[in-house]
Amino acid sequence: MGGFLKNVYDLDGEGAVRDYYDGWAASYDAELRQAGYATPARCAAALAATGLSKDAPILDMGCGTGLSGVALAAEGFEVIDGCDLSEGMLKVARARGLYRHLFPAGETPPEQPRAVTAVGVIGPGAGPISLFDQCLDLLPSGGLFCFSFNDHALEVPEFPAAHARALESGLAVQRFAELGPHLPSMDVKSMVYVLEKR
């Protein structure tokens, strides 16, 4: 197993994450494929099961090289925008030709999304918990937030606490929750969730 995947959960801070993923971009797809990366297809299937219109605009937050976009397109979704911290990752995603717009994290989406996905994005060594609230804030009432927490995120109290807070406050209702494979070769699982914003 390559060193990038082995060490990714130890990153701390936006700059460190950006630099690490820039360096990983060229080998990312091959390494994740070798690990059996299952979460993108699981998230895309969960979002499709809600009945979301195939032409609804989706923002793929932390899209990386576009593996999540590939999974969304395979489910028939047609209008996918993506953003990421890493320009190296965005360059690979751009070459896929399936995103409508790709832009650096922190910029405003071209239009308000009907759904936001954060596939393998929020957790240790990746997106901070503040990104959870940012994703919900982008959505209109009735919009869908599809995200995953892997085993590492589930073990850090602030991550499941943010999810619980969104439900308990009435900000969102849960449409889907399922534990399943994330990186089977490393015996890592993930929870996939779909929340509907109230």
* CATH code, residues 3-197: 3.40.50.150
pLDDT of 10: 59
Q: What is the pLDDT of residue 4?
A: 60
Q: Give 92-110 pLDDT, tens digit per residue.
A: 999 999 999 999 998 999 8
Q: Cα–chain-centroid distance for residue 172?
A: 18
Give the residue from 159, 176, 147, 186 showing the smallest Cα distance to 50. 176
* pLDDT given for residue 9 in this prediction: 60
Average pLDDT, the chain: 92
Which parts of the chain register pLDDT below 70? 1-13
| Ranges of each domain in the chain | 3-197
Q: What is the pLDDT of residue 11?
A: 59
The answer to whether residues 125 and 17 touch, using CB atoms and an 8 Å cutoff, is yes
Question: CA-to-CA distance for 153 and 163, rounded, in angstroms?
Answer: 11
Task: Please state, in angstroms and rounded to a whole number, the distance separating the CA atoms of residues 59 and 160.
Answer: 22
